[in-house]
Amino acid sequence: MRHPDWPLRLVDFIESRRNSPFVWGSNDCLCFAADALIAMGCDDILAGRRGGWATEAGAKELLSAEGGLEAALDARFPRAAAPKRGDIGVLDDMTVGLVYPPHVIVPGEQHIRMIRARACRAFWST
Instruction: Give the strand pairing for 88-92 and 79-80.
Output: unpaired
Question: How big is the CA angle at 117 (ends 62 and 66), to the nearest 5 degrees?
Answer: 15
Q: pLDDT (tens digit, 0 to 9) for every residue of the chain, 126 residues total?
A: 799 999 999 999 999 999 999 999 999 999 999 999 999 999 999 999 998 999 999 999 999 999 998 898 999 899 998 889 999 999 987 789 999 999 999 999 999 999 998 667 888 865
Q: Is the dihedral of CA 115, 119, 120, 124 positive or negative?
A: positive
CA distance 65 to 87: 24
